[in-house]
Amino acid sequence: ERLFTLAPNSYVEIVLMPALVARARERAPGIKLRMTAFGNDLAETGVISGTTAMVLGRIVDPPDNLVVQHLMDDGLACVVRKDHPGVRDRISREQYEMLKHVNVLPPGRLRAGVFQALGQQNLKREVAVSVTHFLAVPEMLAVTDYCATLPKLICRSLERDPRLKGLPTPVDLGTFP
């Protein structure tokens, strides 16, 4: 038995880790995986000392001895409650700007990326609630008429919740690594 410590950010933990855990179970059933918090300080994650095998997330200015590999890009989409009174299959720019929004404030550059994408398209939103994790979003949306703009792969995961529906953003907000 061997223990591997991984430090995924909250996005990776939801989007990639289930498949990675399933693959590890299938290919290496004797190993154990332990997730630790992903932070902006790589020393705190344990990756520099070697106690953490891998960090999964956006790494800014990595040290020279750290191997960094780009894994994927994602885009943005919207999520609202399935029976939202004002939103059917699409959200217009006007609707988007009139709705109140739930915003996720994860650490790192993802937050800046969403605000930057909205700013580049001159798309405005009124943030009514800010939360610290993607998993808080479905509970907020299920009991309000709010909207959330999230990575598409997070939206796809949230669409499994029968209370919610995913929709394209009213304008193309591009992709991010």
DSSP string, the chain: -EEEEEEE-HHHHHHTHHHHHHHHHHH-TTEEEEE----S-HHHHTTTTTSSSEEES--SS--TTS-------EEEEEEEETT-TT-SS---HHHHHHSEEEEE--SSSHHHHHHHHHHHTT---EEEEEESSGGGHHHHHHTSS-EEEEEHHHHHHHTTSTTEEEEE-SS---EE-
CATH of segment(s) 2-56: 3.40.190.10
- What's the CATH number of domain 74-176, 2.60.120.260, 3.40.630.40, 3.40.190.10, 3.40.50.300? 3.40.190.10
Residue pLDDT, tens place only, 139-168: 999 999 999 999 999 999 999 999 999 999
Residue pLDDT, tens place only, 57-80: 888 788 887 888 999 999 999 999
Locate the domains of the chain by residue range: 2-56, 74-176
